[in-house]
Amino acid sequence: MNKLYKQYAEIKAEIKKIRNEAKEMEAKIFEDLSAVEGNKLITDFATFSLVYRPKWKYTDELLEKEKLVKDKIKIMKKEEEVKGVAEKISDNGSLRCQLKN
pLDDT at position 1 is 73
Report residue 96: phi and psi, to 5°.
-115, 130
The answer to whether position 101 is within a domain reads no
Domain that holds residue 68: 54-88
Domain count of the fold of the chain: 2
- Same domain for 22 and 42? yes
- Same domain for 19 and 38? yes
Confidence band for 4, pLDDT divided at 50, 70 and 90: very high
d(CA 3, CA 31): 42
pLDDT at position 100 is 87
Tell me the pLDDT tens digit for each residue of 33-92.
Answer: 999 999 999 999 999 999 999 999 999 999 999 999 999 999 999 999 999 999 999 998
Tell me the pLDDT tens digit for each residue of 13-25.
Answer: 999 999 999 999 9
| The three-state (H, E, C) secondary structure of 43-69, written as one string | CCCCEEECCCCCCCCCCHHHHHHHHHH
The answer to whether position 30 is within a domain reads yes
Q: Would you say residue 101 has pLDDT above 80?
A: no
Give this prediction's pTM. Answer: 0.66
Q: Is 42 helix (H, G, I), strand (E, B) or coil?
A: strand
d(CA 101, CA 16): 12
Provide the CA 58 distance to its chain's centre, in angstroms: 22
The answer to whether position 66 is within a domain reads yes
- Same domain for 48 and 59? no
